[in-house]
Amino acid sequence: MKNERIEKLVSYFAKHYVNRYWVLLIDTLTSVVSTVLVLGVFDYFSSNQLSAGSYLSVAGASALISLISFFTTRSYAGIVRHTTMREMWRISFASIIKGVLDVAALFVFISYSEGTGFSSNWVLLFAVLDMILTLFLLIMVRILLTNIYSVLSLSAAPEYYVKNTLIFGTDDDSVYTLNFLEKTLHSSYRCAGFITHDTHDKSKLLCGYKIYHIDNKRDFARLVTSRMISAIVFPSNVAARNEQDNLVKFCSERRIQILVRPSLATFDESIFRNKIREIKIEDLLGRDEIKISILEIREFLTDKVVVVTGGAGSIGGELCRQLVNMPIRKLILVDFAETPMHNMQLELRSQAPRVEKKFVIADVRNKDRIDALFDKYRPNVVFHAAAYKHVPLMESNPVEAVQANVFGTKNVVDASIRYNVEKFVMISTDKAVNPTNVMGASKRIAEIYVQTVGKEIASGRTPGKTKFVTTRFGNVLGSNGSVIPLFKEQIAKGGPVTVTDPRIIRYFMTISEACSLVLEAATMGEGNDIFVFDMGEPVKIDDLAKKMISLAGLQLGKDIEIKYVGLRPGEKLYEELLKDEENTLPTVHKKIFRAKVREYDMAEVDRELENLRVAALGMKKDDTVLAMKSIVPEYKSANSRYERLDS
C-alpha cells in the first residue's frame, strides 16, 4: 500500500512540475532564514540585545529584498529537479543583488535604530556573510529536493526491477548521460560506474563512480558477473556505432540490454521526459547526423497553409510531425487510408495547438475531390507523398500503379496550378532512375510531368506561378513494409530471416533525416528542380540481417538461420540515385545535389500520357506497361513477366 502511494506520487511529479511561485516562496523563506541566522550571530556578540520587533523588521526587509532579487534574476523559474549551471548562476546573481541591497537596508536600519550595538563597519561583513549563507542554503535546498525525487523514483520501482547500469566512456557526453539517468523520474536504471577501453582512466573516479577498464570479452564477462550488470548506456549513436564489433557484440552475446541516450537534437521543452531507449539497428548503420538550415525553413513556412498528401503514411506522417513544429498557419493532412489517418489524428490533435489541423479522407485519383479540397483550403505549399510504393505488388498491378502514382500526381499538380500554390514538392524515389519495375517507372513518369509543367510555367508558355521541386531518396528505415520491421518480426518468431540475394545492396536513410532534407530542399528549390540526397554508403542487406540477429543476442547458424529466397519481380541488385547520363551540381547543402535531367516537350508528354490513360482505363496490363516503356525508354524490366515486352 505504501509503495503504491509512492508510485502515485512519483507518477504525479513525472507529469507535473512544481509551480514556480511555490519555488519563489521556498527560496524567499530560505533567504529570510539566512538573514535571521546571520543577525542572530551578530546579536549574540553585540553589547545590546535586539528586541523581537527588530528581528521582525529585519526579516520583513529581507523578504522584500529577496523578492526583488529573485524577480530580477528569475532564479525561481527553473525546474528544481533539473537544476543546471545556468540556474546556479542565476541563484548566485540573486544572492549578490541581495547582498548589495542588504548594505543599503542596514544603513537605514542603523540610522533609525538606537542601541543596536552595530557600527557601520559591520555592515559590509554582515552583507557578505548573508550573501554567502543565502547562496549556500539555496543550493542545499535544490540538492535536497533533487535527491528526494531520486529516492522516490527508486522507491517506486521494485528492487528486482532496478537494473545496474554501466555508462560507456568518460567524456562530457558520458557525464551528461549520468545526469540524464539520475534526473529522469521512473528511471529503472541505476548507475554502477563507467566503462572504457582507455587505460589512462583506470582506477579513477568520475562523479563519484568507479571507472572500469576492459580489454577483451573475458574482462567484460568478469565485470558483468561481479557487479551484476544488466544494461550498458551509450551517450550517442556514434559511440555505439564505433563499438558495434566490440562492446555491442559482447552485450548481445551475454543478453545485456544495450541503451542509448536520446540525441540532443530531439529534445524539446519537456527534455527530461525523453526516455533512455534501447539501441536500434539504425543507430549502427554509420550515418553522420544531418544538419539543416532550420531558421531558413521556418522563415519559408511562416504563416503558410500546407497540404500533405499521403499524410498518414510513413514519409507523409513524419513530414506532418515536423511541420506542426514550424510556424505554419494550417496543416491539411490528406490520405485515402482511414485507420492510419485516425491514428495520425489521435497523435497530432494535442500537439502544437496554435497550428490548425485538418484531417481529410480523400483519394488523389479523384480529380473533383482534389479540386474541391484546394478550392476550400487554398494551400500555399503542397508536399505530395501519396503513392503506391511496394515493388512486387505494383508489378502485379500496373494499372493501379499508373492511376495513383501518375494520374494521382497529375491531379494534384494541376490543382496546384489552378489555385496558385506557391511551391509543389514531390516525393520521388531512387527506383525512378533507370527503372526496372512498374513502381519505379510510374514515379519517373510522374517526375517527367512535374518537370515539364514546371518548365512550361517558367518559360511563360503556361500561365501559373507554382514552383515545382522533386526530391529523390532511397529506402527509408522503419517505414511501413520496409526490411527492418520484417527482419524484426522474423527474428522474434525464431526465423528463418529471408534475404532475397546475398549480393543485394540498398541505400538507407531514417525517416526523420529524409523528411528534414525534404523541407530543406523545398526551401532552396527555385522551381523545376530535381534534388538528389546523399544517402551515404550503400548497405548490404545480408550484413544488415546478420547485425540484427547479433543485436538480438542470437547466433547465426545456431539459434537462427538466413534463407535466401531469390529476387522478387521487378527487383534489382543495385539501386541508383542518378542515371548514367545525368550529372549533378552541388547546392548550399552538402547532402543535397541538383540533378541535370533530359527535358521533354509538353505536347509529346500530353500525347503519351493520353495513350497511357487509355491503356490503364481499359485495365490492360501489357498495354499499360508498353505505354510506360514508350514514355521512359530506359525502363527495362528485371526478373519480371514484362521482360518479353522489352524486345
Block residue for cell numbers 524490366: 637
DSSP letter, residue 288: P
E strands in 474-610: 475-477, 497-499, 505-506, 508-510, 529-533, 539-540, 562-564, 583-586, 592-596
The residue among 468, 458, 590 whose CA lies nearest residue 517 is 590
3-state SS assignment for residue 29: helix
Strands 229-234 and 257-260: parallel
Residue 82's alpha-carbon distances to 179, 214, 263, 527, 575, in angstroms, are 9, 32, 17, 47, 47
Find where cell 500537439 sits. Answer: 351
For residue 392, count CB atoms less than 10 angstroms from its CB and return exposed for 0-12, middle for 13-18, buried for 19 or more: middle
SS3 424: strand
DSSP H or E stretch at residue 251: helix 247-253
β partners of residue 330: 305, 356
8 Å CB contact between 182 and 150: yes
Contact residues for 519 (Cβ-Cβ < 8 A; gap 6+): 292, 297, 301, 319, 322, 323
Contact 232, 252 (CB under 8 A): no
**Contact between residue 185 and residue 13 where contact means Cβ atoms under 8 Å apart:** yes
Q: Which residues of 492-531 are buried (b: 16+ CB within 10 A; e: fewer)?
A: eeebebbbbbeebbbbbbbbbbbbbbbbbbbbbbeebbbb
> Catalytic positions, please?
431
Exposure on the CB side of residue 27, measured as CA atoms within 13 A: 31
The backbone torsions φ and ψ at residue 638, rounded to the nearest 5 degrees and listed phi first, read -130, 130
What is the rounded CA–CA span in Å between residue 264 and residue 412? 37
Stated length of the chain: 647
235 contacts 168 by C-beta, under 8 angstroms: yes
